[in-house]
Structure 1
Amino acid sequence: MLIFNKKSDLSAFLSPLINQNKSIGFVPTMGALHEGHLSLLKKSLAENDITVMSIFVNPTQFNNAEDLEKYPRTLEKDVEKMSTISNKIIVYAPAVLDIYEGNTVSQSFEYDGLEHQMEGQHRPGHFDGVGTIVKRLFEIIQPNNAYFGEKDFQQLQIVKKLVSKHKLPVHIIGCPIFREKSGLAMSSRNERLSPEARKKAALIFEILTEAKEIFQEKSIAETIHFVEESFEKHPEFELEYFEIADEATLLPISEKESDKKYRGFIAIFIENIRLIDNISLN
């Protein structure tokens, strides 16, 4: 397995392969890999000649300095996990200086309003940071295909918009949420939960699943009320938001339309650790 820490070395390695029209699949991550990440990796390996995975904890997408500091960094373990799948994966694990060249600030992006909903409301500047790093990594790696998990569904839609607005020659592929046996959406942040909290966090998906059933028969307001009331019964959770939105626009909906796709989005704290999840409601 080849591991590059400098973009100049990675570009020098990839350039002749690009000239040979080899297809490049790219899986961007912040490390602390789990089965969800590995599923993206497997898909890329199956669909491309070359697969690159980046491992980089991007400082510009954190609006909480403590969250950035505590985010797990486990490169050695990550490489071990990757090696169980293939030894042909190319790893890009740069330092902040290699990416930002001493100017660790975000560019400003507009995503036609997608950035103002949900995560955008609660994490100011987050999607500028996401756009900055994703665009930079696309420029360095020049992938044909890039793979993103649907757990971060808003991010997936924003990356698609970024590619469209900036006319980037990358095909964005969304992949299903991977869940633990309990139903908890796999996340690097799960590693920070105590065993007890991790067990309790299974309630998130249980309530989302019930909300989906309620949404089929009852109103939007009743569905939202059910979720809010359910978490009020469990004081170990702090619900930041639950919203029902149009999948395409991410705008909250006021009434159902038969030709639209809807999704429920949630952000919640347990043990002061912020977890997000979502579920298709159609």
Structure 2
Amino acid sequence: MEHIERLKTLRGRRSAWRQAGLRVALVPTMGHLHPGHLSLIREARARADRVVASVFVNPLQFGAGEDFSQYPRTLERDSDMLRDAGCDLLFAPSEAEVYPRGREGQTAIEVPGLCDQLCGASRPGHFRGVATVVAKLLNMVQPEVAIFGEKDFQQLLIIRRLVADLNLPVEIVGAPIVRERDGLAMSSRNSYLNAAERAIAPRLHANLVAAATRLRAGVSCEAVEHETEQALAAAGFEPDYVSVRRRSDLAKPAPAPGTPDDRALIILAAARLGRARLIDNLACDLDASLA
């Protein structure tokens, strides 16, 4: 596996692949990899001739008081994992390589409507930073396809909208959430959990499963959201939000769902547990008879 830090070198490698007619897939990451990331590499491997993974802890998506300085940086370990997973090229640029004019001088990208709700409301500016760095990475690597995990479902929709609105020639693929045996969604921030918190953490997913059951039984979205927040608080979490949305666009479903979009739902949640802010989601399709 090749390890590249400079854009000029990356562009040379990408040019050679293009001349050879090879299809390229990109898997963007912030490192501290886990099996969920490696599942994205496998998905990329199945869809392309060459797989590029990026490792870059993006300062623009961290707010004041968040964990940018403490975020785990394990590049040597990540490199070994990527090599074993069949990655062809690791792009691990410095901050100066990505933002040569500095953080304040960087042109920023906004995705109206999707960026300022849910996690965007709790973390102002977060998705502006995500959209900006993803646009840059897509332009740097110029892949035919890019793979993102569905755990960050809001992020996935934002990236799809960004690509559509800017007419970028790349296919965006969402890959299923990879979970531990007890249901906890794999995340780099799970390493922040102590033993007692790790025992509680799977209840986030368990409560989403219970919420989906309630929705399919005809309980209102508002009641399900309130009940689930209460259940999470009782389990020891500090809930940020629990929200039932349409999977297609994250709009709130109509009170009496009648359209297919209003029945294809997703339950999203974010909650703090100790030092960790955990997010998760679960798809929930309502029976047409409930409309």
CA offset digits 1:143-188 (Å, max 9, x no partner): 0000000000000000000000100000000010000111011000
1:153-168 correspondence to structure 2 within 5 Å: 153-168=153-168
What is residue 44 of structure 1 aligned with on the other side? 44
What is residue 272 of structure 2 aligned with on the other side? 269
Q: Distance in 2 between the 1:238 and 1:66 partners?
A: 16
Give the superposition deviation at 1:113.
0.9
Q: Distance in 1 between the 2:188 and 2:14 partners?
A: 29
What is residue 226 of structure 2 aligned with on the other side? 225
Q: Distance in 2 between the 1:181 and 1:64 partners?
A: 34
Q: Which moved more, 1:252-261 or 1:112-121?
A: 252-261
Q: Distance in 2 between the 1:172 and 1:144 partners?
A: 9
Structure 1 regions of 5+ residues with no counterpart? none
- Paired residue type of 1:98: E
Secondary structure of the equivalent of 1:151? coil
- Paired residue type of 2:117: Q
1:47-62 correspondence to structure 2 within 5 Å: 47-62=47-62
Asked if the contact 1:63–1:123 (Cα under 8 Å) also holds between the matched residues in 2, the reply is yes
Give the superposition deviation at 1:77.
0.9
Give the superposition deviation at 1:30.
0.3
Give the superposition deviation at 1:251.
2.1
What is residue 93 of structure 2 aligned with on the other side? 94
Give the superposition deviation at 1:226.
1.6
Q: Distance in 2 between the 1:248 and 1:112 partners?
A: 16
Asked if the contact 1:146–1:172 (Cα under 8 Å) also holds between the matched residues in 2, the reply is yes
Asked if the contact 1:151–1:185 (Cα under 8 Å) also holds between the matched residues in 2, the reply is yes
Q: Which moved more, 1:244-253 or 1:136-145?
A: 244-253
Q: Distance in 2 between the 1:252 and 1:119 partners?
A: 15
Q: Distance in 2 between the 1:74 and 1:188 partners?
A: 11
Matched, 1:84 2:84: yes
Secondary structure of the equivalent of 1:70? coil
What is residue 241 of structure 1 aligned with on the other side? 241
Q: Distance in 1 between the 2:125 and 2:64 partners?
A: 11
Give the superposition deviation at 1:119.
1.2
Q: Which moved more, 1:171-180 or 1:116-125?
A: 116-125
Secondary structure of the equivalent of 1:14? helix
Q: Structure 2 vs 1, CA of residues 66 and 127 (structure 1 numbering), >3 Å: closer, same or farther? A: closer
Secondary structure of the equivalent of 1:204? helix
Secondary structure of the equivalent of 1:133? helix
1:54-203 correspondence to structure 2 within 5 Å: 54-86=54-86, 88-105=87-104, 107-203=107-203
Q: Distance in 2 between the 1:166 and 1:120 partners?
A: 21
Asked if the contact 1:184–1:205 (Cα under 8 Å) also holds between the matched residues in 2, the reply is yes
- Paired residue type of 1:16: A
1:3-18 correspondence to structure 2 within 5 Å: 3-18=3-18
Give the superposition deviation at 1:47.
1.5
What is residue 35 of structure 2 aligned with on the other side? 35
Give the superposition deviation at 1:199.
1.9
Q: Distance in 2 between the 1:273 and 1:201 partners?
A: 10
Give the superposition deviation at 1:137.
0.6
Alignment: residue pair count: 280
Q: Structure 2 vs 1, CA of residues 205 and 43 (structure 1 numbering), >3 Å: closer, same or farther? A: same
TM-score normalised per structure 1: 0.95
Secondary structure of the equivalent of 1:198? helix
